[in-house]
Structure 1
Amino acid sequence: MKKSLTMSQSLEDYLEAIYKQISEGKNAQVVDIARMLSVKMPSVVRALRELKRLGLVVQEPYAYIELTEKGRRVAHQVHSRHKLLSAFLMKLGVSKRIADKDACLMEHILSAETIDAIRTYTEEGK
Protein backbone atom coordinates (compact mmCIF):
# COMPACT_ATOMS: atom_id res chain seq x y z
CA MET A 1 0.00 0.00 0.00
CA LYS A 2 1.39 3.37 -1.04
CA LYS A 3 1.62 5.87 1.79
CA SER A 4 0.36 9.34 0.88
CA LEU A 5 2.45 12.40 1.53
CA THR A 6 1.06 14.64 4.24
CA MET A 7 2.23 18.23 4.14
CA SER A 8 1.15 21.34 5.95
CA GLN A 9 -0.68 24.10 4.09
CA SER A 10 2.38 26.27 4.52
CA LEU A 11 4.72 23.72 2.91
CA GLU A 12 2.30 23.31 0.01
CA ASP A 13 2.38 27.09 -0.48
CA TYR A 14 6.19 27.10 -0.55
CA LEU A 15 6.25 24.18 -2.97
CA GLU A 16 3.71 25.86 -5.25
CA ALA A 17 5.69 29.13 -5.21
CA ILE A 18 8.84 27.27 -6.26
CA TYR A 19 6.86 25.48 -8.97
CA LYS A 20 5.46 28.78 -10.30
CA GLN A 21 8.92 30.36 -10.48
CA ILE A 22 10.35 27.40 -12.37
CA SER A 23 7.29 27.09 -14.63
CA GLU A 24 7.72 30.73 -15.63
CA GLY A 25 11.30 30.00 -16.67
CA LYS A 26 12.77 31.81 -13.68
CA ASN A 27 15.33 30.55 -11.21
CA ALA A 28 13.83 29.82 -7.80
CA GLN A 29 15.78 31.59 -5.07
CA VAL A 30 15.09 32.09 -1.38
CA VAL A 31 14.67 35.85 -1.80
CA ASP A 32 12.10 35.39 -4.60
CA ILE A 33 10.06 32.85 -2.66
CA ALA A 34 10.11 35.12 0.41
CA ARG A 35 8.84 38.01 -1.70
CA MET A 36 6.12 35.91 -3.38
CA LEU A 37 4.76 34.65 -0.07
CA SER A 38 5.38 37.85 1.92
CA VAL A 39 7.54 36.05 4.48
CA LYS A 40 11.06 36.54 5.78
CA MET A 41 13.97 34.63 4.26
CA PRO A 42 14.65 32.53 7.40
CA SER A 43 11.09 31.19 7.07
CA VAL A 44 11.84 30.09 3.52
CA VAL A 45 15.08 28.44 4.66
CA ARG A 46 13.19 26.48 7.35
CA ALA A 47 10.56 25.40 4.83
CA LEU A 48 13.24 24.33 2.35
CA ARG A 49 14.87 22.21 5.02
CA GLU A 50 11.59 20.34 5.51
CA LEU A 51 10.91 20.08 1.77
CA LYS A 52 14.41 18.61 1.33
CA ARG A 53 13.72 16.11 4.11
CA LEU A 54 10.54 15.06 2.28
CA GLY A 55 12.53 14.59 -0.92
CA LEU A 56 10.68 17.34 -2.80
CA VAL A 57 13.47 19.86 -3.45
CA VAL A 58 17.22 19.97 -3.78
CA GLN A 59 19.46 22.96 -3.25
CA GLU A 60 23.16 23.20 -2.85
CA PRO A 61 24.48 26.10 -0.73
CA TYR A 62 24.12 29.40 -2.61
CA ALA A 63 22.44 27.65 -5.56
CA TYR A 64 18.97 27.80 -7.06
CA ILE A 65 16.16 25.70 -5.63
CA GLU A 66 15.17 22.77 -7.82
CA LEU A 67 12.25 20.39 -7.60
CA THR A 68 12.86 16.66 -7.57
CA GLU A 69 10.67 14.49 -9.79
CA LYS A 70 8.51 13.78 -6.75
CA GLY A 71 8.46 17.50 -5.95
CA ARG A 72 7.32 18.35 -9.49
CA ARG A 73 4.47 15.83 -9.24
CA VAL A 74 3.25 17.10 -5.87
CA ALA A 75 3.67 20.77 -6.83
CA HIS A 76 1.78 20.19 -10.08
CA GLN A 77 -1.10 18.63 -8.13
CA VAL A 78 -1.23 21.57 -5.70
CA HIS A 79 -1.03 24.12 -8.52
CA SER A 80 -3.69 22.29 -10.57
CA ARG A 81 -6.07 22.33 -7.59
CA HIS A 82 -5.44 26.05 -7.18
CA LYS A 83 -6.09 26.81 -10.86
CA LEU A 84 -9.25 24.67 -10.89
CA LEU A 85 -10.67 26.33 -7.78
CA SER A 86 -9.77 29.82 -8.95
CA ALA A 87 -11.43 29.21 -12.33
CA PHE A 88 -14.49 27.73 -10.62
CA LEU A 89 -14.85 30.75 -8.33
CA MET A 90 -14.46 33.17 -11.23
CA LYS A 91 -17.23 31.30 -13.09
CA LEU A 92 -19.39 32.05 -10.06
CA GLY A 93 -18.64 35.75 -10.52
CA VAL A 94 -15.87 36.18 -7.97
CA SER A 95 -13.14 38.65 -9.01
CA LYS A 96 -9.79 37.16 -10.05
CA ARG A 97 -7.98 38.67 -7.05
CA ILE A 98 -10.45 37.24 -4.53
CA ALA A 99 -10.77 33.94 -6.43
CA ASP A 100 -6.98 33.45 -6.26
CA LYS A 101 -6.91 34.33 -2.57
CA ASP A 102 -9.82 32.03 -1.71
CA ALA A 103 -8.50 29.22 -3.94
CA CYS A 104 -5.25 29.34 -1.98
CA LEU A 105 -7.18 28.69 1.22
CA MET A 106 -9.54 26.10 -0.25
CA GLU A 107 -6.92 24.04 -2.11
CA HIS A 108 -5.54 22.74 1.17
CA ILE A 109 -8.73 21.68 2.89
CA LEU A 110 -11.07 20.26 0.27
CA SER A 111 -11.16 16.50 -0.12
CA ALA A 112 -10.10 14.76 -3.32
CA GLU A 113 -13.75 13.80 -3.82
CA THR A 114 -14.85 17.45 -3.69
CA ILE A 115 -12.04 18.55 -6.02
CA ASP A 116 -13.02 15.80 -8.48
CA ALA A 117 -16.68 16.86 -8.30
CA ILE A 118 -15.74 20.50 -8.99
CA ARG A 119 -13.51 19.38 -11.88
CA THR A 120 -16.35 17.31 -13.37
CA TYR A 121 -18.87 20.13 -12.88
CA THR A 122 -16.50 22.69 -14.42
CA GLU A 123 -15.67 20.49 -17.41
CA GLU A 124 -19.34 19.71 -18.06
CA GLY A 125 -20.12 23.42 -17.97
CA LYS A 126 -17.68 24.27 -20.78
Structure 2
Amino acid sequence: MKIQESGENYLETILLLEMRNGTVRAVDIANELGYSKPSVTRAMGVLKKAGLVDQELYGTIQLTEAGRKRANEIYDRHVLIKEFLMTVLSLDARTAETDACRIEHIVSQTTIDRIRALLQEKR
Protein backbone atom coordinates (compact mmCIF):
# COMPACT_ATOMS: atom_id res chain seq x y z
CA MET A 1 0.00 0.00 0.00
CA LYS A 2 1.39 3.39 -1.04
CA ILE A 3 1.60 5.84 1.82
CA GLN A 4 1.01 9.51 1.18
CA GLU A 5 3.17 12.32 2.57
CA SER A 6 0.91 12.76 5.59
CA GLY A 7 1.19 9.06 6.45
CA GLU A 8 4.97 9.29 6.19
CA ASN A 9 4.92 12.30 8.51
CA TYR A 10 2.92 10.32 11.05
CA LEU A 11 5.34 7.37 10.89
CA GLU A 12 8.35 9.64 11.32
CA THR A 13 6.67 11.45 14.21
CA ILE A 14 5.84 8.17 15.95
CA LEU A 15 9.47 7.08 15.60
CA LEU A 16 10.80 10.37 17.00
CA LEU A 17 8.31 10.44 19.89
CA GLU A 18 9.15 6.85 20.70
CA MET A 19 12.88 7.71 20.79
CA ARG A 20 12.18 10.72 22.98
CA ASN A 21 9.48 9.39 25.32
CA GLY A 22 9.57 5.61 25.08
CA THR A 23 5.83 5.31 24.43
CA VAL A 24 3.50 7.10 22.04
CA ARG A 25 -0.18 7.97 22.42
CA ALA A 26 -2.49 9.64 19.93
CA VAL A 27 -2.53 12.80 22.05
CA ASP A 28 1.29 12.96 21.86
CA ILE A 29 1.14 12.86 18.06
CA ALA A 30 -1.63 15.47 18.00
CA ASN A 31 0.40 17.80 20.21
CA GLU A 32 3.60 17.28 18.23
CA LEU A 33 2.01 17.92 14.84
CA GLY A 34 -0.61 20.43 15.91
CA TYR A 35 -3.46 18.22 14.63
CA SER A 36 -6.75 17.37 16.29
CA LYS A 37 -6.99 14.07 18.14
CA PRO A 38 -9.78 12.85 15.81
CA SER A 39 -7.51 13.50 12.80
CA VAL A 40 -4.75 11.46 14.42
CA THR A 41 -7.20 8.67 15.25
CA ARG A 42 -8.33 8.50 11.60
CA ALA A 43 -4.73 8.44 10.40
CA MET A 44 -3.83 5.66 12.86
CA GLY A 45 -6.72 3.63 11.43
CA VAL A 46 -5.28 3.98 7.92
CA LEU A 47 -1.77 3.09 9.10
CA LYS A 48 -3.10 0.16 11.11
CA LYS A 49 -4.98 -1.14 8.07
CA ALA A 50 -1.74 -0.84 6.08
CA GLY A 51 0.02 -2.96 8.72
CA LEU A 52 2.37 -0.17 9.80
CA VAL A 53 1.15 0.46 13.36
CA ASP A 54 -0.51 -1.42 16.17
CA GLN A 55 -2.63 0.34 18.75
CA GLU A 56 -4.35 -0.93 21.83
CA LEU A 57 -7.87 0.45 22.21
CA TYR A 58 -7.29 3.99 23.53
CA GLY A 59 -3.73 2.93 24.32
CA THR A 60 -0.19 3.26 23.11
CA ILE A 61 0.77 3.20 19.46
CA GLN A 62 3.63 1.01 18.30
CA LEU A 63 5.26 0.70 14.92
CA THR A 64 5.09 -2.76 13.40
CA GLU A 65 8.26 -4.21 11.92
CA ALA A 66 7.22 -2.89 8.50
CA GLY A 67 6.24 0.47 10.01
CA ARG A 68 9.55 0.81 11.82
CA LYS A 69 11.46 0.00 8.63
CA ARG A 70 9.52 2.63 6.69
CA ALA A 71 9.80 5.23 9.48
CA ASN A 72 13.56 4.71 9.66
CA GLU A 73 13.87 5.10 5.88
CA ILE A 74 11.93 8.37 6.01
CA TYR A 75 13.94 9.67 8.96
CA ASP A 76 17.25 8.73 7.31
CA ARG A 77 16.23 10.59 4.16
CA HIS A 78 15.29 13.60 6.27
CA VAL A 79 18.63 13.66 8.10
CA LEU A 80 20.59 13.19 4.88
CA ILE A 81 18.75 15.96 3.03
CA LYS A 82 19.08 18.34 5.97
CA GLU A 83 22.82 17.68 6.13
CA PHE A 84 23.10 18.27 2.38
CA LEU A 85 21.21 21.55 2.56
CA MET A 86 23.38 22.78 5.42
CA THR A 87 26.73 21.48 4.14
CA VAL A 88 26.50 22.01 0.40
CA LEU A 89 24.05 24.89 0.17
CA SER A 90 25.04 26.57 3.46
CA LEU A 91 21.45 26.91 4.62
CA ASP A 92 20.79 27.66 8.27
CA ALA A 93 19.55 24.76 10.41
CA ARG A 94 15.99 26.04 10.66
CA THR A 95 15.54 26.48 6.91
CA ALA A 96 17.27 23.16 6.19
CA GLU A 97 14.96 21.40 8.67
CA THR A 98 11.81 22.87 7.13
CA ASP A 99 12.90 22.16 3.56
CA ALA A 100 14.14 18.64 4.33
CA CYS A 101 10.76 17.81 5.86
CA ARG A 102 9.07 18.56 2.55
CA ILE A 103 11.73 17.26 0.15
CA GLU A 104 12.09 13.86 1.85
CA HIS A 105 8.71 12.75 0.49
CA ILE A 106 9.20 13.56 -3.18
CA VAL A 107 12.85 13.03 -4.02
CA SER A 108 13.83 9.88 -5.91
CA GLN A 109 16.07 7.15 -4.54
CA THR A 110 18.59 8.01 -7.29
CA THR A 111 18.82 11.55 -5.95
CA ILE A 112 19.19 10.29 -2.38
CA ASP A 113 22.02 7.99 -3.48
CA ARG A 114 23.81 10.86 -5.22
CA ILE A 115 23.39 13.16 -2.23
CA ARG A 116 24.80 10.43 0.03
CA ALA A 117 27.80 9.93 -2.30
CA LEU A 118 28.47 13.66 -2.52
CA LEU A 119 28.38 14.07 1.27
CA GLN A 120 30.73 11.10 1.71
CA GLU A 121 33.21 12.81 -0.63
CA LYS A 122 33.02 15.98 1.46
CA ARG A 123 33.68 14.15 4.74
TM-score bucket of the superposed structures, by smaller chain = over 0.9
What root-mean-square deviation, in Å, do the aligned CA atoms of Structure 1 and Structure 2 show? 1.0
Residue 118 of structure 1, CA deviation: 0.5
Specify the alignment match of 2:115 in structure 1.
118
List alignment gaps of at least 5 residues for structure 2.
Answer: none
Q: How do 1:88-103 and structure 2 match up within 5 A?
A: 88-91=84-87, 92-103=89-100
Encode CA deviations 1:1-45: one digit per residue, 9 max, x unaligned. xxxx52100000000000111122431111111111111111111
TM-score if structure 1 supplies the norm length? 0.93
Q: Which of residues 17, 22, 27 in structure 1 aligns to 2:23?
A: 27
List alignment gaps of at least 5 residues for structure 1.
Answer: none
TM-score if structure 2 supplies the norm length? 0.95
Encode CA deviations 1:54-80: one digit per residue, 9 max, x unaligned. 100000112110011111100000000
Specify the alignment match of 1:16 in structure 2.
12
User: Which has the larger helix fraction?
Assistant: 2
Matched, 1:57 2:53: yes
Separation (CA, whole Å) in 2 of partners of 1:67 and 1:108: 19
Letter of the 2:31 partner, please give it.
R
Q: How do 1:69-80 and structure 2 match up within 5 A?
A: 69-80=65-76
Percent identical: 43
Q: Which of residues 101, 104, 109 in structure 2 aligns to 1:104?
A: 101
Separation (CA, whole Å) in 2 of partners of 1:115 and 1:7: 19
Quick check: 29-38 or 50-59, which moved more?
A: 29-38
